[in-house]
Amino acid sequence: MNNKLKVALAQIAPVWLDKEATIKKIEKQIIDAAEESCELIVFGEGLLPGYPFWIALTNGAAWNSSVQKELHAHYVKNSICIEKGELDSICQLAKKHQMAIYLGIIERPEDRGGHSIYASLVYIDQEGIIQSVHRKLQPTYDERLTWAPGDGNGLQVHPLKDFTVGGLNCWENWMPLPRASLYGQGENLHIAVWPGSDHNTKDITRFIARESRSYVISVSSLMQKTDFPEGTPHLDKIIAEAPDQLANGGSCIASPDGEWLVEPVLHKEGLIIETLDFNRVLEERQNFDAVGHYSRPDVTHLQVNRERQSTVSFFDNE
């Protein structure tokens, strides 16, 4: 049955900007998915510890603002340093339940000094090993006021039964060349993670499936005005401008022909579970394969730099 893969889309709200509490909520979703014999679970963009909604609500571009500085510092302190083992408990659950995981985090990496943060998509395999960390190449619009731009190191794919999985963050999914870099590595199950809302997922999910002749899983988070926790810095300013619904979900799955397997699910928290059949990929590649028989590498050819970027390199004498 390697051609069948049971997947879970975890459409949940974070415990906003509280990494410890959000990790516990993520762990519960993994355990619940294991009870349903799921082999892959996917969480939304930046779910751990949450999306920076305050920027659009509190004049995030204000220069030298104490409000923005204090909120940013709170965000950084609740971001994830993988090198310090802050994903270890999640990796252990992946191994225990033989479940692969795609998880959107706000990463605070030591290899970039430990103070800047990145919207990263982490892939943990069924043995509980982190196989790739893809830092979002280009934060979108006001995200650039808090997230740093990433690099190509995480443009990688991974074997999962008969499938080859890869993923991108949010509006990266609209970038043709990163998509092509994954297609060229044999991707046939594409993971697209979003902060939330069907206005992001309802068109691009089916478009990528039709272009790539792959399954596409889009996973979004939820966020309501009532989800902002007490104790958040400048909560009164955030609440004053926040709409009742900031992210309505919209998680969905498109089949390799571009048609819906699961239409966007709105306003519902929890797991969305479906089984994928790899044979559908082979059927749809018969008439179109963007990097195979319907490509012309002698005419157009993509080069990708996957080197992990860092500000310094050290050459120490031993």
Per the residue annotation, which of 39, 45, 143, 284 is the catalytic one?
A: 45
* Angstrom distance (rounded) from CA 183 to CA 268: 32
Q: Is 283 designated active site?
A: no
**Are 250 and 218 a contacting pair, CB within 8 Å?**
yes
| DSSP assigned state of 149 | P
Per the residue annotation, which of 136, 161, 172, 284 is the catalytic one?
A: 136
The three-point CA angle 305-311-313 to 5° equals: 90
Place of tokens 């889009």: 218
Q: Is 28 designated active site?
A: no
Q: Is 45 designated active site?
A: yes
* Angstrom distance (rounded) from CA 101 to CA 7: 10
For residue 312, give the amino acid letter.
Answer: V
**Are 2 and 160 a contacting pair, CB within 8 Å?**
no
Per the residue annotation, which of 19, 170, 187, 252 is the catalytic one?
A: 170
Q: Which helix (H) or strand (E) holds 41?
A: strand 40-43
Q: Which of 241, 202, 198, 239 is nearest to 222 (CA)?
A: 198
Residues with catalytic annotation? 45, 136, 170
